[in-house]
Amino acid sequence: MPSPSDTDSLPPATPAATVVIFRTDPDGGPPLLCMVERSAKMAFAPGAAVFPGGRVDPDDYDLADRLAPELEREEGAARIAAIRETLEETGLSIGIVAGGSHPGSRERAEVRAALNDGVLFSELLEERGWSLDLARFTYWARWRPPGTIEKRVFDTRFYIADAGDAVLRGEADRTENTSLFWASAQEVLRRADAGEISVIFPTRRNLERLSLFSDFEAARVHADSVPVRMVLTYVEERADGEYICLPDGHGYPVLEEPMSRALRG
């Protein structure tokens, strides 16, 4: 298999984007994160709790060319995909600005339905006069497993975004995802360890990293201090079996998990 630093020999991967949405816990606990539980019928990560996100579409690249020429094209398109996928999957409009404020619930529902019917995001933005605040997203990580580990290979950019004290009443789309919930990183990990939910290897590693921070600002400062480089997971043979691992230096406190226990996409 390719070494953790060998990107030239990697097979093609599907570009994707995901966003970790923070909001303040009204009870004073650690920040709450938006999670969706995927349908058991989905090919990728069936039944797992994940952050909202999905594939980068051709229309996302076209929008990036028009709206964010200052950004590297893949980066701009990924941020737009994170916004669009979040709206499709949760009904939340993180990063969308409508007349100086956030779109109302009725508008979000109408646009969400149109997206699910196949209408292009670019057309809906123009029709509604909406703009995108791409600077609201902080680049957190980029994950790409070698094709020798996973059947479906995604090159996924992770972002974090802060909703502050907002009360966000998102709802799962009931197609790709069956439910939506808000919980701290610590609580999601506790529920996973108790067998109440399942989380795939990248989600678990990111939850462990996110659990280190008491608020969004601390996570943002940390993210800015760790240059984002592609996380290339790999398998290591040991006396007690195979381990799925990631290299050090990406900001993650836990770098391995036995293959026998790791849930993968």
156-183 residue pLDDT tens: 999 999 999 886 777 876 676 778 999 9
**Residue of higher predicted confidence among 8 and 151:** 151
* Contact assessment for residue 242 and residue 259, using Cβ atoms and an 8 Å cutoff: yes
4 compared with 103, residue with greater pLDDT = 103
Q: Which of 146-155, 184-193, 232-241 has the highest mean pLDDT?
A: 184-193
- pLDDT at residue 4 greater than cutoff 70: no
pLDDT of residue 151: 66
Q: Percent of the chain scored above 90 by pLDDT?
A: 75
CATH 3.30.497.10 fits 14-258, yes or no: no
Q: Rounded to 5 degrees, what are φ and ψ at 74?
A: -65, -35
Let me know if 93 is exposed, middle or buried by CB neighbors in 10 A (0-12, 13-18, 19+). buried
Give residue 2's pLDDT band: very low, low, confident or very high (50, 70, 90).
very low
Strand partners, 34: 182
Q: Are 199 and 186 in contact (CB under 8 A)?
A: no
Whether the predicted pLDDT of 191 surpasses 90 = yes
Task: State the DSSP code for 76.
Answer: H
Q: Where in the chain are the domains?
A: 14-258
Q: How confident is the model at residue 1 (pLDDT cuts 50, 70, 90)?
A: very low
45 pLDDT exceeds 60? no
User: Which strand (E) or helix (H) includes residue 261?
Assistant: none
